[in-house]
């Protein structure tokens, strides 16, 4: 599981909404079905209190998934499928410099300084948004894995194991929530990346694995996100030696203020505009930290090599040989 000379991967882990794209990814979905986006989110924001009054607790981060299904079931979004979500993902517009910047970071290990080392960069997205839309977007070809919310079509009925495939209901409309990702569960996926359980199903994310045997050590992870809702992940990554960075919409003064507070309160190492174009402060910082991590990986690799290698035999100088002969002769006399 681990590289013979130490772990060899740097993971850049990204939030999605307001980090890679302006606003929220659901906008093309609302536009397609002619649903008022403002009203939808106002309804979502009121749901936790309404359901609480009924004696039911719900997750503020993911109750919107249930409300989307209500829109499907009751008509405004009738016929919504995972395929349609993927197609709508193609319409997502990214911040400047993307997706090219993912390629730029991924190419750093080919730099002359590292070309003799088997290093690579992997990009991950962890989002409370919709997985099919992310996978349908133009950034997905540059991403190793996506952890986000998913819907089920044609859910299996009771006693489905005793029914033939032909008799099972076929309803391609999304009708159940398959995976929910909230701002706390995001930390679980950080540990999946860290331990490698996303690559090997035999590795349980709750298993105790020595840090030196984990696929990507925490100090080789960079987490980039936009705001206070990402504090749980910022805390885990930064607290365990990784790098953390907060981005903001350069045209939004409130977002700038929020990201500055994250720096002041020690939640993140730095902040900058959500602009990944060449020579932007954000692209410069992320490239520099990637170089720093790779250089540290070289040092760890060289240290491990020196600890595992025995010194090779050396020629003994002539005068030292004479001394050894004299000592041996004296011992024979005694």
> Using an 8 Å Cβ cutoff, are 286 and 14 in contact?
no
74 is a domain residue: no
Range of the domain at 280: 9-23+93-308
Task: Specify the DSSP class assigned to residue 204.
Answer: -
Q: Tokens at residue 314, please? A: 């050396």
Query: What is the predicted pLDDT for the residue at 332?
Result: 45
Report the alpha-carbon distance of residue 237 to residue 190 in Å, rounded.
8
Percent of the chain with pLDDT over 90: 72
* DSSP SS3 for 183: coil
Q: Cα separation of 213 and 223, whole Å?
A: 21
Q: What is the DSSP string of 227-246?
A: SGGGHHHHHHHHHTT-EEEE
Pairing verdict, β 174-179 and 221-225 = unpaired
| DSSP alpha helix (H) spans, the chain | 27-33, 37-53, 63-73, 82-89, 100-107, 131-136, 186-195, 231-239, 253-264, 281-308, 318-333
Is 288's pLDDT higher than 50? yes
In a domain, 132, yes or no: yes
DSSP 86-99: HHHHTTPPPPTTTT
3-state secondary structure 262-292: HHHCCCCCEEEECCCCCCCHHHHHHHHHHHH
Residue 41: inside a domain? no
Domain total in the chain: 1
Residue 318 maps to a domain? no
By three-state DSSP, how is residue 151 classified?
A: strand
What CATH number is attached to the domain comprising 186? 3.40.50.1000
d(CA 223, CA 233): 8
Instruction: Give 44-100 pLDDT, tens digit per residue.
Output: 999 999 999 999 999 999 999 999 999 999 999 999 999 999 999 999 999 999 999
pLDDT digits (tens, 9 = 90+) for 166-189: 565 666 899 999 999 999 999 999
213 found inside a domain: yes
Top-confidence residue, 210 or 263: 263
State yes or no: cis peptide before 99, omega within 30 of 0. Answer: yes
pLDDT tens per residue across span 271-284? 999 999 999 999 99
Q: Is 7 exposed, middle or buried (0-12, 13-18, 19+ CB in 10 A)?
A: buried
The pLDDT tens digits for 22-47 are 999 999 999 999 999 999 999 999 99
Query: Distances from the Cα of 145 to the Cαs of 3, 14, 23, 68, 113, in angstroms?
Result: 20, 11, 22, 24, 28
Q: pLDDT for 114-163, tens place per residue?
A: 988 889 999 999 999 999 999 999 999 999 999 999 999 988 878 878 87
pLDDT value, residue 244: 98
Tell me whether residue 3 is in a domain. Answer: no
Greatest CA separation found in the chain?
108
- Residue 35 domain-assigned? no
Answer whether residue 48 is part of any domain: no
The CA dihedral of 211, 216, 218, 220, to the nearest 10 degrees, is: 130
């Amino acid at each position: 599981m681990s590289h013979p000379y130490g772990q060899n991967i740097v993971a850049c882990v990204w939030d999605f909404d307001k980090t890679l794209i302006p606003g929220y990814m659901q906008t093309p979905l609302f536009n397609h079905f002619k649903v008022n986006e403002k009203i939808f989110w106002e309804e979502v924001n009121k749901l936790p209190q309404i359901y609480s009054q009924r004696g039911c607790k719900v997750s503020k981060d993911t109750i919107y998934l249930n409300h989307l299904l209500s829109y499907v079931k009751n008509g405004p979004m009738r016929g919504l499928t995972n395929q349609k979500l993927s197609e709508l993902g193609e319409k997502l517009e990214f911040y400047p410099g993307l997706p090219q910047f993912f390629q730029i970071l991924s190419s750093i290990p080919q730099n002359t300084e590292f070309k003799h080392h088997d290093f690579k960069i992997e990009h991950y997205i962890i989002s409370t948004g919709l997985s099919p839309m992310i996978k349908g977007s133009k950034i997905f070809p540059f991403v190793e894995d996506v952890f986000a919310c998913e819907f089920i079509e044609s859910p299996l009925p009771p006693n489905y194991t005793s029914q033939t495939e032909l008799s099972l209901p076929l309803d391609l409309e999304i009708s159940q929530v398959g995976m929910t990702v909230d701002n706390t569960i995001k930390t679980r996926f950080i540990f999946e990346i860290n331990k490698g359980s996303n690559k090997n199903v035999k590795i349980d994310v709750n298993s105790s694995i020595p840090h030196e045997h984990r696929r990507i050590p925490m100090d080789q992870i960079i987490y980039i996100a936009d705001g206070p809702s990402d504090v749980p992940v910022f805390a885990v990554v930064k607290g365990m030696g990784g790098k953390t960075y907060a981005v903001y919409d350069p045209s939004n003064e409130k977002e700038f203020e929020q990201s500055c507070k994250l720096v002041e309160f020690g939640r993140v190492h730095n902040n900058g505009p959500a602009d990944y174009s060449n020579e932007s402060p954000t692209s410069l910082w992320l490239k520099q930290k990637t170089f720093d991590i790779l250089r540290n990986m070289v040092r760890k690799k060289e240290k491990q090599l020196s600890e595992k290698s025995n010194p090779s035999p050396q020629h003994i100088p002539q005068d030292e040989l004479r001394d050894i002969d004299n000592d041996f002769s004296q011992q024979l006399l005694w």
